[in-house]
A and B are shown apart, each in its own frame.
Chain A
């Protein structure tokens, strides 16, 4: 860990120089089901810096999606605070755009282009229809969907729908792009393709992205920094660097080592979880 940090210091600015764009400070999130009050995360804290590809990684039940909803402003923390550029988050807003896992996140009554211009116009990014059109076309091209701008979402494949959602999110140029397992519902080949394309897009503008996943491999490929969360309730287990890991070194010794390390962290909890569950049944 220490050695890695020292190698990183040459290529990335030191932490002291830059202010975090997003601060999550001792956040406890709770939600109610019909019968229980569930604590999804307990005093979770982390800082996201500009240009981070920050990944929230953990098994199901670690509250990573809930955390993302908190950051998006759909939920208020019962304890702690979430600050974007130093300002506390109170509501959903177009400065933090969500990309969901579900394919129905596109408005079915709008074409590919209209889905993007809808966001631009209503999110206050553009008050000029022609300008919004231009921005939309630029991002449609970026996600390689030229020729599909006038197609309705139901005609698109799952991967194409996710591309539109990503284009819509990026076109808003949010302070932070929030991605909630965006590739989880895709087939393996498409997922690989999408991960590569996301990284290519990131290379262009170094936008800040917060990415939720339960796949260790995806976390290592997509992320530059990984927050590992333990389940029931979600608590910070570790924060790791992964900016030197990508598709090219999947399967190398270095990659597998980190993969194994995270796996061990999560696996320890998994056994515990199984014990609790069998205990509950008995």
Chain B
């Protein structure tokens, strides 16, 4: 055997024969550790929020240290503490809170109108191929168009006021939501579709009970994008014509503070924009996701 294989240049490995054995009774595992709890510090550090808070804290500290340490001109860059105090003061002792409420009210109107129109469009697209083609065409055309660019037109059509704001908000929500929901629907697996029809679901029931939950990750993603677009658009639009509309929102507050060379106020306004954006994204949407798509294992 070995001589024949040695004839050629390379010897192929041969099987090594060993005796068999069988363990009659398996004793308790000898290793002492199967699962050990991590240390408290390690567990705390594993919480996302804790790590993010530390990052936030260090940014704040750096800002404060820079403005105080280098004696920066407060009109250019006020310290964090001054800006923050202005925010608290204006929120509780001035009318900032009403301005915020005004903005949020307009936003909610625009956002829900946008969602409603998106739902109508998508229903149309699910029942007819023409509707589906329309969504693809319209989103391709209008999605790249910044909502703020429609503002001049909105002002011509609807004048200065809430109607114009709502118009541009609808534009910024509608296409993002329609696009992602539509592609979410198209991605619903053939098996789930067949299951739905097997149990007798048709028409609206089929859309609501099968397509919507199955496409929920995409729908939520679209709603988040739509929200972010809408929020930016609103603040931007308020900066442009909040002045002449009489009752201004948060954007108007920022603009007004800037006109008064009140840099603290500008920063306070920006804080507010960030805080609300953060709250909606990380509290509202995060909770919806946790209760739905995360819980169902459709998204990690």
Contact = CB atoms under 8 A, between A and B. Distances in A.
Contacts of B200: 92-94, 122-124
B191 A100 contact: yes
Nearest to A100: B191
Contacts of A119: 199
B288 to A, nearest CB: 13
B213 A109 contact: yes
B195 A107 contact: yes
Give the interface residue-count category, chain A.
20 to 34
B298 A108 contact: yes
B292 interface: yes
A154 interface: yes
Given A152-B296, A152-B297, A105 B191 contact: yes
Contacts of B189: 102, 104
A98 B192 contact: no
Contacts of A154: 296-298
B213 A92 contact: no
A62 interface: no
B8 interface: no
A122 B297 contact: no
Contacts of A31: none
Interface string B201-235: 10001000110011010000000000000000000
A122 B191 contact: no
B198 A98 contact: yes
Contacts of B205: 122
B36 interface: no
Contact of A74 (B192, B194, B199, B209): B194
Interface in A88-125: 91-94, 96-98, 100, 102, 104-105, 107-109, 118-119, 122-124
B205 to A, nearest CB: 7
Contact of B199 (A91, A108, A122): A122
B295 interface: yes
Interface in B248-300: 292, 295-298
Interface in B26-74: none
Interface string A194-207: 00000000000000
Contacts of A109: 213-214, 216, 292, 296, 298
B176 to A, nearest CB: 23
B105 interface: no
A94 B192 contact: no
Nearest to B298: A108
Contacts of B89: none
Contacts of A104: 189, 191-192
A72 B193 CA distance: 13
Given A109-B216, A109-B298, A152-B297, A123 B199 contact: yes
B94 to A, nearest CB: 46
Given A104-B189, A123-B200, A92 B296 contact: no
B207 to A, nearest CB: 13
Contacts of A172: 199
Nearest to A119: B199
A153 interface: yes
A155 interface: yes
A151 to B, nearest CB: 11
22 contacts: A74-B194, A93-B198, A94-B199, A96-B198, A98-B195, A100-B191, A100-B194, A102-B191, A104-B189, A104-B191, A104-B192, A107-B192, A108-B214, A109-B292, A109-B296, A119-B199, A122-B209, A124-B200, A152-B296, A154-B296, A155-B297, A172-B199
